[in-house]
Amino acid sequence: MSINGEDKQEVTAKGDVSILRFYMNELSGALGDIGTFLPHIIGAITLAQLNPSGVLTMFGLFYVTTGLFYRIPMAVQPMKAASAAVLIQKATPGEIAGAGLVLGALLTILATTGFMEKLAKITPSSVVGGIRLGLGLSLAFLGLKMIIPDPVLGVLMLVIMLPFNFSRTWPTAIFAVAIGIGYSFLIGKLTGFPDIKLGFYLPPMVIPTVDELRIGIFKIVIPQIPLTIANAIIVTSVMAHKLFPHATRVNVRNLALTQGLGNLLAAPFGGYLMCHGGGGLVAHYRFGARTAIATMLLGVSLLFVGLFLGPEAVKLFQLVPEAVLGALLVYGGLDLARGMDYSKQKGDLFVVLSVALLSIWVNPSWGFILGLPLAYAFKKIRLS
């Protein structure tokens, strides 16, 4: 995959950044979203008893195909509301597969009928901005919660990462993970690398029953749909065009379609509920990713881990301290929150703040659902 635009000039013309450092930055960017990725994945595997090979292999395939199609470091994440429902209500693998099939079918229909584009057109920028602000702050707060159990390492990581975050020449996420693991060895939390055995693990077939389909719809699908439309499609499209103006393939129709097809294909093979996300895209960018090389590296790595480590993969993931994941989340969330020029909202700042508060205190789904009528009502009042 070639290096384009500003990055190519930076590497070849200016000579400020070596080819090696460029790829180190891409690798760092690939790790930028693991703060949201790993906790959900480990929880799904350990609490919901999902097969690690199915989950990781399908994520790897989705990352690779997403990188090839969009040609930017597009995020692939676990669906947040659905994941919360899975972990809290202890959904079974069959119910998760049923929800994935239904969500995939709904998103594919929204994309192919053109309804998704119409919905994006009628969504005011103030609602999008409010969701982004709320999501960003929520991610930052979650990161701080993950730091609390190990405040020494968490604060240390925040301080160490701060100066690196102002420069693209340092692969911040790689340093953070390496320092965190080294610190855990130093204080005795880790006494050695786990004994990991290679094998070959094919994803399992998971065919949901009618009852599992029904339960999956009410447990998982209904809470997830508004969040997917708001964050994984509309907000992600806005952020992609802001960060990557050349990303012509990124639009609400394609985002709905790739998520729809991805979940339809992954669900029968033990895959988890997957989506794109504005926060994940910003996190990849924030920690160095500028091309699809980042997502390709992560996708191939997950494919390898899923196929050749299988259940042993959890041991590998647990090497990364939670406080390190939290520090990554703090900076990624703050980047998402500040990624919009709120001064341009002028009279709509009230709507932005209202939607952000709803997104934080309840969830982004309600911020989107209640934000739409609020934005139009407020506009009508101002015009009057």
Provide the residue range defining the domain that includes 82. 16-340
Q: Is 349 part of a structural domain of the chain?
A: no
Encoded tokens for 269: 């093979």
Whether residue 382 lies inside any domain: the answer is no
Residue 48's nearest CA partner among 102, 87, 19 is 87
Q: Please check whether residue 81 lies inside any domain of the structure.
A: yes
Our count of domains for the chain comes to: 1
For residue 111, the model assigns a pLDDT of: 96
Name the most confidently modeled range: 100-104, 145-149, 166-170.
100-104
Q: Has residue 383 been placed in a domain?
A: no
Residue 101: pLDDT band by 50, 70, 90 thresholds? very high
- 213 has which bridge partners? none
Report the residue count for the chain.
384
The CA distances from residue 32 to 125, 154, 272, 329, in Å, are 27, 16, 20, 8
Mean pLDDT of 348-370: 86
Sign, Cα dihedral of 13, 287, 312, 207: negative
Q: Hey, CA dihedral for 283, 288, 291, 296, is it positive or negative?
A: negative
Say whether pLDDT at 132 is over 50.
yes
**Statement: residue 211 has pLDDT above 70:** yes
Does residue 372 belong to any structural domain of this protein? no
Residue 37 placed within a domain: yes
Residue 13 has pLDDT above 80, yes or no: no
CB 276 within 8 A of CB 75: yes
